[in-house]
Amino acid sequence: MQLLLQVYDYMPETLILSPSFPPIFQTILTALTLVQVDINYPALDLLRRILAHDSLINPPGTPSAGQSNQNTMFATAIRQSMAEQGFQLVGLVLTGLVTYFVEDTNSLVITIFRILADLWPNELATWLPPVLEQIPTATLSLPAKSQFLSDFGRYVMAFAYGCHLD
């Protein structure tokens, strides 16, 4: 994970524009299944950096005048990986949060969910209910699952209408 972080920091095009990006993205997700903070934290950090890439600021199909062709290709590659593996990403991040991720990762998880709610709100709304169903009730109670879904729906609606929740 540390090597991938370095490659992303110094040569993001080598990572994202590579034909190997989908398997690399899957490798990052696989790292989230390991109960090891030395792997989980960098994997979450790399996911946060990829999902917050500047190329994703504009909605699909609406490049700004200043957006380069390379940024368009970045956005396409990231969006394609999210379309294919977004459900798995949400499941792994949420499961890790309520089970084995250490407390130090909470800020990364929150940031990832904010990015997902901002850039993929409809997809996230589709992915969350089945992901929550897969989490055992011994780990996350039914009332907690319902509350999470309710709070999430409220957040997405407020965001869509430009309101800020306290």
Whether 160 contacts 117, CB under 8 Å: no
Name the pLDDT band for 134 (thresholds 50, 70, 90): very high
Per-residue pLDDT reduced to its tens digit, 60-115: 555 554 557 888 999 999 999 999 999 999 999 999 999 999 999 999 999 999 99
pLDDT at 164: 59
**Cα 2 from chain centre:** 18
SS percent in the chain: helix, strand, coil, step 5: 75, 0, 25
Whether 87 contacts 131, CB under 8 Å: yes
Name the pLDDT band for 59 (thresholds 50, 70, 90): low
Over residues 126-153, the mean pLDDT reads: 90
pLDDT at 34: 94
pLDDT at 17: 95
pLDDT at 69: 87
Per-residue pLDDT reduced to its tens digit, 7-33: 999 999 999 999 999 999 999 999 999
Query: What span, in angstroms and rounded, lies between the C-alpha atoms of 22 and 93?
Result: 18
pLDDT at 14: 93
Q: What does DSSP assign to residue 103?
A: G
Q: Give phi and psi for 119, each to the nearest 5.
A: -95, -25
